[in-house]
Amino acid sequence: MTEQLSQQRTTQRGDGASHTIMCTEMRSAEHTGMHASTSAATHTSPHVQLRTASHGYANPASNPAANPAANPRLRRARTTIWLILFLVGGIGLAYNALVRPHGMAEVYVERSEKTFVEADIAAPVGAPSGEKASTKWLASDSPALQDGSAIAMAGAAHTLTINETVGVPPRAARERIAAGDSNVSLSIVDTLGVWIAAFFTLAIFSFLWRDNPIYKFAESILVGVSAAYWMTLGYWATLVPNLFAKIAPETIKGWAMPALDVQPADQTTQFLLALVPLILGFMLLMRLSPKGGWISVWPLAFIIGTTAGLKFVAFIEGDLMAQAANTIIPLVALNDTGSMQFGESLGNLVLFVGVLAVLTYFFFSVEHKGRLGTMVGKVSRLGIWYLMITFGAAFGLTVMGRITLLSQRLEFLFGDWLWIIDPANIR
């Protein structure tokens, strides 16, 4: 025996929308410990979506047909397909590395020694009287040492020898190694670098399967290495030559920059000028202090103001004035003989009309009514066409740039790593 209990209540939401909830509870007299309840709700508010027989799933992500990841069967099928692809790729990789006669992803280098000498370079003929002779490090085979314009200093302290490695094509390297050339050898470090680059490339491509730990690991490595690279580049390319070299020039010359030109007469001025960015840098680091964070506001304001001023002047000169000058062109282009050049004249006309149409589109002071307003509206619509064509071309250029990056990665995988493509026959 079954009894049915129905209850209806109306509630009022905060935004004024009301909804009615009908609760129906089915109870069985024979099984009093078990019950089943169902609820149906109808909402007058457009912000709430429900699943109904006529509209299907209110949330498309919960529909297995619209979202394959929500369907266990489709998810297992996709995983199986990718597993088969990984197995086939692993078998092909093992065959390519072990069975092929010349293997894959091998980098050969040639070692050589290069000598540099410190030389005195005289001031050029006709130079201003204030310009003095300078001292620079030159290669031992430099033309300046041979024609006498630079004189090498004597002594071991003025001579520097470094080991240099140059890449050699694999086919030529194997032939030279077979002939007994000891200067050519397999570079373990460079070969390992190719394998690491291939691993991270495939790890990023694994996102095509789904978000996975390997992809997250490669992404984290990319962000960390990029931050470390730019920090190192900023240290050696900015701090060392522009700050430390002016505070302690002799120390930096003997430690990091042998070719640094030290002028004793300017050391005091350079030292005083270098103290300004040094103090501002230490003030900027006060941002890390809980109580001294306000000190970092001053150098930050100095940096933003200086950068804004420099960029503003560069924008005015390089963009605004240059673009304005390029639009001041004759509508009829003539060649040296005085005859009209049709192609260039047509291009100038298109540019002239486009500039006026786009400027009219951003002119909002005239209502598009009446004879004048209708004419302005038509010109504005022409300006919209110019803008859409420009945006489309810019988007196409962006897509082509990304496709170029993809083609370079594929060329690296199939060329430098797998040695499958070899148009120059160098491997």
Cβ–Cβ contacts within 10 Å for residue 57, how many? 16
Predicted pLDDT of residue 263: 75
In a domain, 353, yes or no: yes
Distance, CA of 43 to CA of 10 (rounded, Å): 11
> Average of pLDDT values for 104-112?
88
Predicted pLDDT of residue 317: 86
Long-range contacts of 199-203 (CB under 8 A, 24+ apart): 201/409, 201/412, 201/413, 202/413
* Per-residue CA distances from 196 to 181, 201, 202, 222, 246 (Å): 29, 9, 10, 12, 40
State yes or no: pLDDT of 6 exceeds 70: no
pLDDT class of 427 with cuts at 50, 70, 90: confident
In a domain, 268, yes or no: no
Are 90 and 149 in contact, with CB atoms under 8 Å apart? no
Distance, CA of 92 to CA of 118 (rounded, Å): 54
Predicted pLDDT of residue 126: 57
Are 193 and 412 in contact, with CB atoms under 8 Å apart? no
What's the total number of domains in the chain? 2
SS3 36: strand
pLDDT class of 14 with cuts at 50, 70, 90: very low
In a domain, 351, yes or no: yes
Max avg pLDDT among 114-123, 213-222, 326-335 = 213-222
In a domain, 277, yes or no: no
In a domain, 352, yes or no: yes
State yes or no: pLDDT of 38 exceeds 50: no
Predicted pLDDT of residue 17: 44
In a domain, 192, yes or no: no
Q: Residue 69, exposed/middle/buried by CB under 10 A (0-12, 13-18, 19+)?
A: exposed
Cβ–Cβ contacts within 10 Å for residue 134, how many? 15
Predicted pLDDT of residue 11: 44
**Beta bridge partner(s), residue 141:** none
State yes or no: pLDDT of 398 exceeds 90: yes
In a domain, 392, yes or no: yes
Of residues 387 and 122, the one with the higher pLDDT is 387
Distance, CA of 170 to CA of 180 (rounded, Å): 15
Poorest-confidence range of 129-138, 355-364, 372-381, 388-397? 129-138
Position 118, amino acid: E
State yes or no: pLDDT of 100 exceeds 90: no
Query: In the chain, pLDDT over 90 holds for what percent of residues?
Result: 28
In a domain, 364, yes or no: yes
Max avg pLDDT among 87-96, 157-166, 272-281, 386-395 = 386-395
Of residues 311 and 135, the one with the higher pLDDT is 311
State yes or no: pLDDT of 133 exceeds 90: no
Poorest-confidence range of 124-128, 167-171, 304-308, 336-340? 124-128
HSE of 132, CA atoms in CB hemisphere, 13 A: 8
Give per-residue pLDDT as tens, 232-258.
Answer: 999 999 999 889 988 888 888 888 887
- pTM for the model: 0.63
Q: Residue 128, exposed/middle/buried by CB under 10 A (0-12, 13-18, 19+)?
A: exposed
State yes or no: pLDDT of 369 exceeds 90: no
State yes or no: pLDDT of 425 exceeds 80: yes
Predicted pLDDT of residue 373: 84
Distance, CA of 207 to CA of 405 (rounded, Å): 17
> Average of pLDDT values for 158-163?
80
Cβ–Cβ contacts within 10 Å for residue 191, how many? 17
> Average of pLDDT values for 142-168?
78
State yes or no: pLDDT of 392 exceeds 60: yes
Are 273 and 266 in contact, with CB atoms under 8 Å apart? no
pLDDT class of 156 with cuts at 50, 70, 90: low
Q: Residue 164, exposed/middle/buried by CB under 10 A (0-12, 13-18, 19+)?
A: exposed
Poorest-confidence range of 86-90, 99-103, 325-329, 335-339? 99-103
Sheet with strand 2-12: strands edge to edge: 2-12, 18-28, 35-43
Length, in residues, of the chain: 427
Predicted pLDDT of residue 119: 81
Poorest-confidence range of 49-63, 219-233, 285-299, 402-416? 49-63
Domain assignment of residue 392, given as a range: 342-417
